[in-house]
Chain A
Amino acid sequence: MSDVEKIEGDAGNFTVTVKERPRYVDMDKCIACGVCATKCPRKVDDKYNQNLNKRKAIYVQYAQAVPLKYVIDEANCIYFEKGKCRACEKFCPADAIDFSQKEKTYQLEVGSVILSPGYQPYDPVPSNAYGYNDFANVITSMEFERILSASGPFEGHMVRPLDGKNVEKIAWLQCVGSRDTHADSHDYCSGICCMYSIKEAVIAKEHADKQLDTAIFYMDMRTHGKEFDRYYNRAKDEKGVRFIRSRIHSLAEIRDGSKDLKLIYVDEEGNMQSEIFDLVVLSVGITISKDVSSMAANLGIELDKDGFAAASCFSPVATSRPGIFVCGAFGGPKDIPQSVMEASAASSASAALLCDARNTLIQEKVYPDEEPIDNDNLRIGVFVCHCGINIGSIVDVPDVRDYAGTLPGVVYTADNMFSCSQDTQELIRDTVKKEKLNRVVVAACSPRTHEPLFQETIQAAGLNRYLLEFTNIRDQDAWVHQDKPKEATQKAKDLVRMAVSKVTFSEPLAKLRMPMNKAGVVVGGGIAGMNAALNMAEQGFQTYLIEQKQELGGQGLNIDKTWQDEDVKEYIKNLKLSLQNNKKIEILLNARLIEVSGFVGNFKSIVQIDGSQRELEHGVAVLASGAKPYKPKEYLYGQSDRVTRWHELLDNFNKDPEKLEQAKAVAFIQCVGSREPERPYCSKICCTSSVQQAISLKTRKPDLDVYILYRDLRTYGQREVLYTKARKLGVLFIRYSLEEKPKVKKCMVDGKEKIEILIKDHILGTDLEIKVDYLNLATAIIAEGQDQLSRLFKVPLNEDGFFMEAHMKLRPVDCSTDGVFICGLSHYPKPVEESIAQAQAAAERAANMLAMEYVEVEPIISVVNQDKCIGCGLCETICPYGAIHVVQVPGEGFKAENISALCKGCGVCAAACPQQAIDMQHFRDHQIIAAINAGGKNAMEEKKQIIAAKKPGRTSISGFQVSDDYYYHAGHSWVKMEKGGRVKIGIDDFLLKILGPMEEFELPKEGAALRKNTTGLVLKRNGHKAMIQVPITGKVFSINHKVLNNPELLYDDPYKEGWLFALEPLALKRDLKELFFKEQSYQWLEEENKKLLDLLGPEFEKLAATDDKAVFDICDNFPEIGWEKLVNTFFSPKR
């Protein structure tokens, strides 16, 4: 929201004028709940989503925006247009809207400035590239990027923006706006498009529901970065992305109304082809926007001919104005890893300039002493946050708060509108003190964003920060169960219960601090190593530079010129001088690291120098051990002195200019040993190098025939200018494929030895025979000496033997081992300027650590119970950080020991330990298990109910039918619960079987009030009556007229169709307690049956009740017992 107006002054002392545009939202108050955007009535094209959908006039640019605060788009806001609306203001629960904000101007006093304004994708509109303006289904790669994105307008579904049609066939057209000499385009290569197109094609295939056909039309596939060629190969061979080497000359919509596009192109064999695609993606390149150009002009920054900030290869992040640095794509086309490296490099160059001012603006925070914790007297406080309406509108927060109060150990609960607000924080701090809380649970948003804030707060109250447990009831509850408030509330209660259980076992922990040894070691004295050392020394730190050869310079000594034609040898000479003159640098030549121990802040290394040994103590290390060119066995290398590699050819010509004078033709073969199955990576610098050499030869001797035999010409970025120049000078480029590599043999022409090359020319489609005087091979750059360093510092290597960074894009110079950094060729082949930028980046990352007084480690680390440990060493084997090792303890055998400074707290060791001897602080086994048990409690109860409900009920007892979930009255009437609270009343099978068919029955009147245990219905037979008692007190709601009209129903189905009347109960719960249910009813009925058998006497036992069938109509079949006796025994219980 700010623009730089001007920068006055000089390096070390600038005044920067910055204008900040109003946001109209108070950043301190906005909680990013999004209510404003829901209520805002104005819809605007969403620029972030490439106008593929709409957003509101108050918005956040994208879900992960930092800071996550809303902003009002003044140009589109109704209030700014018409003077009324302010809906956002009305609905904002945090009172964050502030229409009174004005533009502000700041004057910043700074010592240096870093420019990283970025790039703008090439705009295909002015040139109407490939009919972009006319054809709806021609889109840019940026638009496609948004279509692909799960958070984009189509949630990652592969549909066409035009008609929502599911896409089945997509074409990418490379080099749109790049490598193109037309007026609106750029002749440089944008460097990133090949890779992102492959990525888009691969991801599109993953996202598509069915088979998706993807084709990339390209000129040269430029996947020159680390691991990029592997990705390219996978896309081609495993994912089935089609790669077609052709520049499309035209495309048009087909005329069937589908708006599909027909591409016409010439294939590699020279045949005209046409294909129809649903969608055509233009792989647009990198350009610098007019705004950035004018800012640069304003600041007095020189731009190169392509509009990028001009920089020398030797100081890749310095602009033409001292003290102002550049990083990212403003300095030239580049990808993410390179941009991130440059960011560190620019910061490093800045830090070297301002090293004296380091730490002068720092204020240290002071906390009160921590109170001792009384573990026998748990005092847990639970704070539940409403987060405005974010949590409160879904989760019943007061209910959760009250529930928390019932949990063991909880002595204080509160609910807060915004727990993170300044005043609530103070309230929590005071509450912790006042209530003498010794554990705190906060149920609010995400611990990933807010846990540190609350930790600070309780620390400010004198409570150890690790006695806090933070549970997420917003992002992972209220927001994701918006239609299920009841379940969301239950979930919040469960989560609070889990947190309380876990925090019960929390213990106070102290952050670990170890002193930082403020010296650095740089291994390798090439261009990268020298730069890293110089930069660290310039930042004020003692640096040891270890080089195994007897002079500094490394592979740089073999390079003549950078691609920008700057003299490398001269540069190295000067660099050496600066190093020698810097008192903070000690250069150790003929030196080799042979032993390393310790960890970040406290390394001890032993260096072997000319037969003697020296111990160095240092806090960090930068590895820049370099690489070397591969010696091939093919193409007659080593068999003919006319076959050379890399700089050898030009060296020969320089030594003996006569050779060049006599020569008629020279050839270069690219990718010798690179991009082969055994070495499937691109050596990155060879194309530029050979093209440079070719230009040099052509310039010196224009009639010399120069051939470059290549697979993909990878003069990436602005180096493309060299390729263009070489072609203009008449250098002949002939492409070959891996399957048909050139064949080379010696031959004699006019009595002179020559080299004959056989190659198939794809464009002409014929075999060519070229006779040259000299053949130079661009062989692979291979790793050298990394093995030993990898072992010493425990840093991993990739499959090709280069050092592996902690994260390809985000941490490109860090190693997974803390305090160890990498740069230069030992990381991956790269040109001088990239090596220097990476060296400066590594130096910056190293200096960052050296600047600290101590190494501070979160105490979330492993602890070993050595009594349990059996010294098996499994933990040491699997620890990815080398943070646990097995040591010999006298008299005890081997025991594991944690190295706190290296431990990242992942806990793999604890999970793996077969003895359960390892535990993780703050995530201790019993803490997690307590949380698991607490979490499962509810589920277990529900499960018990389900099991109880599903347990097959009894359907008959001693031959009498029963219905399992009914309640029975001792007088053989039953009660069935109905939905809504009413009950149905009927009589059971026992009664019906004993008394037999009735002649008549009297039911109570609708509306009549009945009391339990008094007569409710009367049964009549043969002039006898049976008065049947009502099981429940209540009012008759309805009677079953069906049964009255059709008494058979009663006998056929006494428990369902045969119900008699429905009651509106008065005191159901109380009454139910007096009735028989389930097990009780089975027992009771069995007893009743026994009584019946006693009445019948032994001889009729079988008759009365056989297993499943009871005899019907006992009354009639055994008249000697008599009606009265039966009724009195069974159906008139006395209470």
Chain B
Amino acid sequence: MKNDFEPKILAFLCNWCAYAGADLAGVSRIQYPPSIRVIRTMCSGRVDPLWVIKGLESGFDGVMVAG
């Protein structure tokens, strides 16, 4: 059976690095799956562990914290 499960990812990106990196991926037209939703934070350190749980609870399959 074909596995067409596409996980929905919630990403917390640091404004200063990972978010800028995601912008650069755009400028460079690097293509990636459209199943990611980004929330910008001023630092990846801002990400409360509770938010990760909230993310999974709200329907996401995975949570990424990048910074």
Contact = CB atoms under 8 A, between A and B. Distances in A.
Interface in B1-58: 5, 8, 10, 15, 19-20, 22-32, 34-35, 37-43, 45-49, 51, 54-55, 57-58
Given A448-B19, A490-B34, A939-B60, A480 B42 contact: no
Interface in A913-941: 920, 923, 925, 928-929, 931-933, 935-941
A179 interface: no
Nearest to B30: A480
A437 B54 CA distance: 30
B47 A911 contact: yes
Given A476-B26, A494-B37, A932-B39, A906 B46 contact: yes
A444 to B, nearest CB: 12
Contacts of A942: 8, 59
A908 interface: yes
A491 B10 contact: no
Report the 4 A-B pairs with minimum CB-CB distance, sorted nearest first: A936-B58, A940-B59, A907-B46, A475-B26
Interface residues of A, number: 51
B58 A920 contact: no
Contacts of B35: 487
B13 to A, nearest CB: 9
A910 B31 contact: no
A1100 to B, nearest CB: 42
Contacts of A447: 40
Contacts of A1030: none
Contacts of A494: 37
B59 A936 contact: yes
23 contacts: A151-B28, A447-B40, A448-B23, A449-B23, A476-B23, A476-B38, A479-B27, A479-B29, A480-B26, A480-B31, A482-B31, A483-B31, A488-B34, A905-B42, A906-B42, A907-B41, A911-B45, A928-B48, A932-B39, A932-B51, A935-B37, A936-B59, A942-B8
B58 A940 contact: yes
A923 B47 CA distance: 10
Report which residue of A64, A490, A907, A946 has the largest number of chain B beta carbons within 10 angstroms of its beta carbon. A907
A561 B2 CA distance: 78
A484 interface: yes
Given A63-B27, A860-B42, A906-B42, A448 B37 contact: no
B38 A481 contact: no
Nearest to A474: B26
Contacts, number: 130
Contact of A932 (B5, B10, B42): B10
A472 B34 contact: no
Contacts of A1041: none
A332 B54 CA distance: 56
Nearest to A488: B34
B42 A907 contact: yes
Interface of A: 63-64, 151, 446-449, 472, 474-477, 479-484, 487-488, 490-491, 494-495, 498, 860, 904-908, 910-911, 920, 923, 925, 928-929, 931-933, 935-943, 946
A495 B37 contact: yes
| Interface class of chain B by DSSP | mixed
B34 A491 contact: yes
A1083 to B, nearest CB: 30
A907 B46 CA distance: 4
Nearest to B27: A63
A475 B42 contact: no
A474 B40 CA distance: 15
B60 to A, nearest CB: 5
B3 to A, nearest CB: 12
A484 B32 CA distance: 10
Contact of B15 (A448, A936, A941): A448
Nearest to A943: B59
By size class, the interface of chain B is 35 or more
Contacts of B10: 932, 935-936
Contacts of B61: 939
A480 B11 CA distance: 16
A948 B6 CA distance: 17
B59 A938 contact: yes
Contacts of A925: 48
A935 B58 CA distance: 8
A910 B60 CA distance: 23
Contacts of A932: 10, 39, 51, 54-55, 58
A481 B39 contact: no
A490 B31 CA distance: 16
Contacts of B59: 936-943
A476 B28 contact: no
Nearest to B5: A946
Contacts of A472: 23, 38
Given A487-B34, A929-B54, A939-B60, A908 B45 contact: yes
Given A448-B15, A484-B34, A935-B39, A911 B27 contact: no
A907 B43 CA distance: 7
B46 A911 contact: yes
A815 B5 CA distance: 48
Given A481-B34, A910-B48, A920 B42 contact: yes
A911 B48 contact: yes
A944 to B, nearest CB: 9
Nearest to B10: A935
B40 to A, nearest CB: 7
Contacts of B46: 906-908, 910-911, 920, 923
B58 A480 contact: no
Contacts of A904: 42-43
Given A476-B25, A906-B45, A907-B46, 12 more contacts: A475-B27, A480-B25, A480-B34, A488-B34, A490-B34, A907-B45, A920-B42, A925-B48, A928-B39, A932-B39, A936-B58, A946-B5
Given A491-B34, A498-B39, A936 B24 contact: no
Nearest to B52: A932
A933 B54 contact: yes
Nearest to B15: A448
A946 B59 CA distance: 12
Nearest to B42: A905
B22 A476 contact: yes
Contacts of B32: 480-481
A153 to B, nearest CB: 13
B41 A63 contact: no
A719 B49 CA distance: 54
A939 B8 contact: yes
Contacts of A479: 26-27, 29
Contacts of A63: 24, 27-28
A476 B59 CA distance: 21
A187 B24 CA distance: 41
A386 to B, nearest CB: 16
B37 A498 contact: yes
A434 B49 CA distance: 42
A923 B57 CA distance: 20
B61 to A, nearest CB: 7
A480 B29 contact: yes
A475 B22 contact: yes
Nearest to B26: A475
Nearest to B25: A480
Contacts of B25: 475-476, 480
Contacts of A487: 34-35
B2 to A, nearest CB: 14
A936 B53 CA distance: 12
Contact of B24 (A64, A490, A923, A941): A64
Contacts of B39: 498, 928, 931-932, 935
A905 B31 CA distance: 32
Contacts of B45: 906-908, 911
Contacts of A911: 45-49
Nearest to B48: A911
Contacts of A938: 8, 59
A906 B45 CA distance: 7
A59 to B, nearest CB: 14
Nearest to B46: A907
